[in-house]
Chain A
């Protein structure tokens, strides 16, 4: 089993380079479509990006964690952070911050000082409003209503909705007064609310260059996130939810609710619960808290929800990691000096002193102790194991295609060797063989066209007669049954309805993906059967239907949008978001009817897409098959027509056999590598 993504990626790319060495020596392969798409895929693997989303309540130590993880201090940690916007951090040649304001204005800052100044000015929370959920108010009211008058009903709904966020337990009237005061003072300057911050940083660590970090504005106590944050959550490769290991009641709902939220529900990738500030606690406290978290959240592992496995709950200490990063490049003497200063200024945390004591002034031992406290190594291991699934799958698929190409090249070489041998022995026999093979290829083409026609009609015929329409009907009926049980009166009814509806859309997409594979598999099955009846090897005719080629078909099917986007960005789903999340229950029935009609449209759209896919796949399959058959025919004719002496043929045969001999060990290496990666996913 291979668990280090970095190592696996390196091995796979080496394997590809070895493959190219073979491919470059094969005659007539340069124009091969599979070879071209392998090259594209290799580029993608080289440049792959990993999107890590960081979520958590305010004061959960997000900025410190991000700085520690990235190994550089990008976000200010000494202010009470309260960005209402998403902060996206990625690699760039220079340290640049790009901010977008609520009115669409943009601002750019360059360099350490200017960026820090901007972040402190725009992200620090006014002390006066430290007791109220400013992020929620900004996102739900200020940014949405801009200069427009905010209806009293909406403000009342908001106040009711944020009752649970009164974390400092202010008297209700005082809490409400402060919220109203905040809205009154802030609304006139709504345009100055920052809605998006992009930061580019020239990371020295090459590993970090492919990582994109999304720092979300704090989730509120009810686990809710803003619309913009939700979009990011849906597409993140991994999500880390941060919360202090102690100090906040474990049973606090925010994480649980966050897990249940519709945007998290839509992301099938890995979710981690990161328990921060672990170094300040005793081993016993950490163990107890950890077990408690496992008990509460580990139990949620159901099919349709995000479950948190034990290994995905990780106690860490960001400060310990930051000290590690700081001391890593210092000499022992310099560390001693730093420790003295920290101690004199009474800034040294107890764990730091303890680590220093255990290490007895020895740098390596000190760093090991700090790593033990920080526990960040476990994050990397877990990310590799749970968060890189899509990337590992891409590597496996890539290797699978290399293996198919090896098999195809080997089969072609064997055929060529056979034909040259025949040419040397009995040229007339070769001419006969060319005619026979041509006729066999024509028959295979005819039969395959017929088979593809049958498959197309089986799936895509009109009315309720084809598999597509029938299945769409079944999926729709299951959905109607599911939503029948939602009680429209409850607070979470609309959220529930949307969640089920989104899942429904995913089911259509899932069905589409399954069907694509099934159609191609059925075609291949028929082709294998036909090839078996002839002496032609299946692999040399098999049309390439890898994911990117299927992707090309889908693009030609719909030029403008990906189906997921057009399925889910319809007005009906968005409509609910124009209202504050707290008023949703009032609109339940109104929205439900509208969603049902939209669902029917989505069903029709899915049917249409699927039928269209089957049609285009049928066209592509037969065309590709014809092309492969044509190549084979040309190759045969070429060998037949070539004027070669016996010595020349012997020389060619020697070269072909050498090439064939090269393939086997390389093929085995790729097979082993694939086996190791598959063991991981």
Chain B
């Protein structure tokens, strides 16, 4: 389920549009495949990590504005109870991407290691889609840095191009990058829908108490 909020959809779309055009530039200027995929992964993960923080702020604001319109929350005691739910903190804890550092990249991406991590996560989550894996990583005790998840997803997406000379395959490679970004966009929208769902679930507890 993707988020149905048009404003958020628009923001996510804008970011992916920019990521697509930058990735295209990287594919065009790189002659070494490994180099290109490294740079794309860095670009995508650092940007999404930064934007995800903004999305949480946006989502919290949007959802809070919405509930404040409801008659129930016109009562200052109910409104106070809402604030005392600490939803900003809860969202922040639950949906905060762990980007320990970009160390994985600074030390050089270990494809085999990332692939192994990602595949084991995928096996546990039952899918190789980023959003699902993210959800799984957040809901369980597994603590995998976000960058590794993106790198893993990219590795899965680009794996067939590993041994192919890129000059002959730039179009195919570009297609793979596009597909990867589209999947990721879809997953981010799903992730936002999950945020909304969690928020609404928490609000329901307030109604039931009264």
- Physical interaction between A and B: yes
Binding site for B on A (CB under 8 A): 439, 442-443, 445-446, 449, 453, 456-457, 460-463, 466, 469, 558-561, 566, 570-571, 597, 600-601, 604-605, 607-608, 611-612, 614-616, 618-619, 622-623, 626
* Dominant secondary structure at the B interface: helix
With contacts A570-B102, A608-B99 known, what are 20 further pairs, Cβ within 8 A?
A: A439-B76, A442-B76, A443-B76, A453-B61, A453-B88, A460-B54, A462-B15, A463-B11, A466-B54, A466-B57, A566-B101, A566-B102, A571-B106, A597-B42, A597-B43, A600-B46, A604-B47, A604-B49, A611-B57, A619-B92
Please name all residues of chain B whose beta carbon is closer than 8 Å to the beta carbon of A623 when the two chains form the complex. Answer: 86, 89
Q: Give chain A nearest CB distance to B197 CB in angstroms.
A: 19
Q: In the bound complex, what is the Cα–Cα distance between A517 and B53 (angstroms)?
A: 20
Asked if B174 is an interface residue, CB under 8 A from chain A, the answer is no
- The reply to whether A619 and B86 contact each other, CB–CB distance below 8 Å, is yes
- Roughly how many angstroms separate A619 CA and B61 CA in the complex, as a whole number? 14
Which of under 10, 10 to 19, 20 to 34, or 35 or more describes the interface residues of B? Answer: 35 or more
Q: How far is the CB of A618 from chain B (nearest CB, A)?
A: 6
Q: Which of A446, A607, A618 contacts B50 (CB 8 A)?
A: A607
What is the bound-complex CA distance between A453 and B92, given in angstroms?
Answer: 14
Q: Return chain B residues, CB-CB under 8 Å to A604.
A: 46-47, 49-50
CB distance from A607 to the nearest CB of B (A): 4
Q: How far is the CB of B49 from chain A (nearest CB, A)?
A: 5
Ordered by A's residue number, 18 sampled pairs between the chains whose C-beta atoms are within 8 Å are A456-B60, A456-B88, A457-B61, A460-B53, A461-B57, A461-B61, A462-B55, A463-B15, A463-B51, A570-B102, A601-B42, A604-B47, A607-B53, A612-B96, A618-B88, A619-B86, A619-B89, A623-B89
How far apart are the CA atoms of A414 and B190 in the complex, in Å? 55
Whether the pair B54, A616 counts as a contact (CB closer than 8 A) is no
B88 touches A615 (CB 8 A): yes
Point out residues on B near A: beta carbons under 8 Å: 11, 14-15, 39, 42-43, 46-47, 49-51, 53-58, 60-61, 64, 76-77, 79-80, 83-84, 86, 88-89, 92, 96, 99-102, 106-107
Taking each of B15, B50, B79, B96, which has the highest tally of chain A beta carbons within 10 Å of its own beta carbon?
B50
A618: nearest chain-B partner, CB-CB: B88
Q: Are B57 and A460 in contact (CB under 8 A)?
A: yes
**B157 CB to nearest A CB, Å:** 21
Q: Is A445 a contact of B50 with CB atoms below 8 Å? A: no
- Docked Cα-Cα span, A463 to B51, in Å, equals 7
Question: How close is B45's CB to chain A, nearest CB, in angstroms?
Answer: 9
A residues near B96, Cβ cutoff 8 Å: 612
Partner of A469, one of B14, B54, B80, B83: B54
Query: Closest 10 A-B residue pairs measured CB to CB?
Result: A462-B54, A611-B53, A608-B50, A604-B46, A604-B50, A607-B50, A449-B83, A460-B57, A619-B89, A571-B106
